[in-house]
Amino acid sequence: MHDGHKYHGTLLSVSDEGFQLGILQKVKEEGKKRPVIKEVPTDFRFDDVAYTKYLIKVK
């Protein structure tokens, strides 16, 4: 991103305008005492991204 933030996540989908990453975030669920780590889909536009790096893991 051009704003200096770094995001780590799983590539979920790609379109003509941008892509969607699944980013792990702590989410406070209603009725729970502690936050739970969930994969939150986040959209990015190609115009807003300065550069990307990829990491391929083979299990």
Number of separate domains in the chain: 1
| 59 or 33, higher pLDDT | 33
Q: What is the pLDDT of residues 6-26, one digit of tens each?
A: 888 999 999 999 999 999 999
Q: Compute the chain's Rg from CA coordinates.
A: 14
Residue 2 has pLDDT above 70, yes or no: no
- For residue 51, the enclosing domain spans 1-59
Global pTM?
0.74
Q: What is the pLDDT of residues 40-56, one digit of tens each?
A: 999 999 998 888 888 88
- CA 23 to chain CA centroid, Å, is 3
Cα–Cα distance measured from residue 20 to residue 8, given in angstroms and rounded to the nearest whole number: 12
Q: Give the pLDDT of residue 50.
A: 86
